Amino acid sequence: MAAHPAQVFSSESELREYIGRPMDLAVAKAIDHLDKYCRAFIARSPFLTLGTASADGRGDVSPRGDQAGFVQVLDDHTLFIPDRPGNNRLDTMTNIIANPNVGILFLVPGFEDCLRVNGKARIVRDETLLAEATVKGKTPRIGILVEVDEAYLHCAKAIRRSRLWDAESHHERRELPSLGKMILEQTAPANAPPAADFVTEVDELIEENYRNELY
């Protein structure tokens, strides 16, 4: 279905005139440091999304997940996110090198509110910080050091609307094909679907990677 918008907003003033101004508290809640509540939230969070952009403004959002509290709060203005093994695309890392501005969304299972942190990031190798992030005898090779510019708690509307933590709203994974099958079909030449045995092989490789390369 093609989009035919009745209006495209091209300035903040135009958008504000239509939508309105934020409540005073929505503006005032942004603080320039990590207070006791931010720290408590981060200590309980096993999952975050990390937004970055390339030098030319191309955006990307990457998930990061681990044991609750895997993000280290070094002080009121600094976070350290260990980098676990991935696919080596390095989208987040190369974006940060080109453009250090990042946005982070922390989630806590069961909490309907969430925490947003914005700041500037660097890719670093610090043996002390990396040693603190060792899990199952495996130490990450690098990490992301974030200088916090602002932090604020975000209300529960989005998670309530999505019913994210409501078990009754969860889907069965079998509703879609396996990850391997979907990627192989997305990347296959036209009219040349992947063979079933190849799909099985790739799915087994993915599961083996999950078992052996989480850390």
- Same-domain pairing of 36 and 56: yes
- Give 92-129 pLDDT, tens digit per residue: 999 999 999 999 999 999 999 999 999 999 999 999 99
CATH number at residue 66: 2.30.110.10
CA 102 distance to own-chain centroid: 11
Burial class of residue 41 in the structure, from the number of CB atoms within 10 Å of its CB (0-12 exposed, 13-18 middle, 19+ buried): buried
Q: Considering only CA atoms, which of 113, 107, 132 is closest in space to residue 48? A: 107
- Same-domain pairing of 23 and 127: yes
Q: How many domains does the chain have?
A: 2
Mean pLDDT estimate for the chain: 96
- Same-domain pairing of 80 and 102: yes
- Same-domain pairing of 180 and 137: no
pLDDT, residue 210, reads 95
- Residue 11 belongs to a domain: no
pLDDT, residue 169, reads 96
Q: Domain span at residue 197?
A: 171-212
Model confidence at 25: pLDDT above 90: no
- Give 135-157 pLDDT, tens digit per residue: 999 999 999 999 999 999 999 99
CA distance linking residue 93 with residue 121, whole number of Å: 10
Q: Considering only CA atoms, which of 145, 99, 93, 140 is closest in space to residue 122? A: 145
- Residue 26 belongs to a domain: yes
- Residue 2 belongs to a domain: no
Mean pLDDT value of segment 40-49: 98
**11 — pLDDT class (breaks 50, 70, 90):** very high
- Residue 93 belongs to a domain: yes
Sign of the dihedral defined by the CA atoms of residues 114, 49, 81, 97, in that order: negative
pTM > 0.85: yes or no:
yes
pLDDT, residue 190, reads 87
- Same-domain pairing of 197 and 115: no
- Residue 120 belongs to a domain: yes
- Residue 49 belongs to a domain: yes
- Residue 121 belongs to a domain: yes
